[in-house]
A = this chain, B = another copy of it.
Amino acid sequence: MTAAPARDDGIGGEGGIVLTADAIARAVSGELIGDGAVEVRGVAPLERATSTDLSYLAAARHAPALAASRAAVVLVSPELASVEGADVRARVIVADPQAAMATLLPQFARTGVPHSGIHATASIGKGVKLGRGVSIGAYVVIGDDVVVGEGAIVGAHCVIASGVQIGDETRLYPHVTVYSGAVLGRAVTVHSGARIASDGFGYIFRSGRHEKIPHVGGCVIGDHVEIGANSTIDRGSLGDTVIGAGTKIDNLVHIAHNCRVGKNCLFAAQVGLAGSVVVEDGVALGGQAGVGDHRTIGAGARIAGRAGVIGDVPAGETWSGYPARPHRAALQAQAALFRLPPLLKRLERLLGTEGTSG
């Protein structure tokens, strides 16, 4: 991994960092074995690490990869401290190598911070308030009366409608659209192509056609929320669509009008919430899961990938399948289903039926 300069247009770049084994050991409160002066400039998995990379050994089964590794520095757990790497020049012993790596990674991050300042090509409306240290990228379009907080980064090509509020330290990657009615909190991250506060999907069938119900509600995104690439969050019809602080949303997720999502939830990719769903705090939704309109998912519940929720889920439970049920019941039903065909054949013979399908 080559260290490239950190400057970019609101989208990435590497850190250009150089760390010694000594500095690493200090940063993670680990014990250093080997040459503390060895320098690393990047990170990589054991198999692909080179002589300027830091890596880590998470589990005993990967010990052979360490033995063959060319990494310069490796984080290892006390149990595996005796495994030596081919060209490894320093080891740092810590209780949880993976967590230690997570602590160090920000220093190697690709997402370099762009220069602060307003690009000459940005189009800024009337009455816009820009906080200190903001970075507004190339070809950004900002409507009237928008507020952008201190240190916020608006990536190239973002379009922000009139009246939108964006909190301090919030970062929009390129190509984000924020419709009118959105209020983004502090330290929010929105990835490329996400659409915030778009029109909800609501119509009244009158005189032989679907007549649009204008959506005049808002879309409130809490502090530290992260929204993935190409996800869509509609604004409310009358009230607001709300995403609670600390909730993390993956790519291609859809959240419909009037949903109220709690704090610290995790939504994996391609999840969909229909209108007016309530998701309480700390809920995890697996990939491609869907929730029917007006349902409630209780605090701390876990919904498996691809589950289709059409009822309310009590707090703390794990549900799966379609229609989603408590996970244990769903597993039993699925297992029974696959034991069924041969049994059914014998049974029909026994009962003298002939597949009297409903």
Considering the complex, which residues of chain A in the window 39-82 have a beta carbon less than 8 Å from any beta carbon of chain B?
42-45, 47-48, 55
Closest to A209 in B: B246
Residues of B within 8 A of A174 (CB): 141, 159, 177
Known: A44-B239, A141-B137. A337 touches B346 (CB 8 A): no
From B9, B163, B197, contact of A14 by CB (8 A)? B163
Which partner residue on chain B sits nearest A142 by CB separation? Answer: B9
Q: Are A45 and B239 in contact (CB under 8 A)?
A: yes
Given contacts A193-B193, A336-B340, contact A141 B156 (CB under 8 A): yes
Chain A binding surface, main DSSP class: loop
Q: Is the CB of A353 within 8 A of B348?
A: no
Which residues of A are in contact with B by a Cβ distance under 8 Å? 1-2, 4-5, 7-9, 11-14, 42-45, 47-48, 55, 99, 101-102, 105-106, 108-112, 121, 123, 125-126, 137-139, 141-145, 155-157, 159, 161-163, 173-175, 177, 179-181, 191-193, 195, 197-199, 201, 203-204, 206, 208-216, 218, 224, 226, 228-230, 232, 234-235, 238-239, 246, 248, 250-252, 254, 256, 264, 266, 268-270, 272, 274, 287-288, 290, 292, 305-306, 308, 310, 321-323, 325, 328-329, 332-344, 346-348, 350-351, 353, 355-358
Which are the 5 A-B pairs with shortest beta-carbon distances?
A12-B180, A12-B161, A13-B162, A109-B214, A195-B229
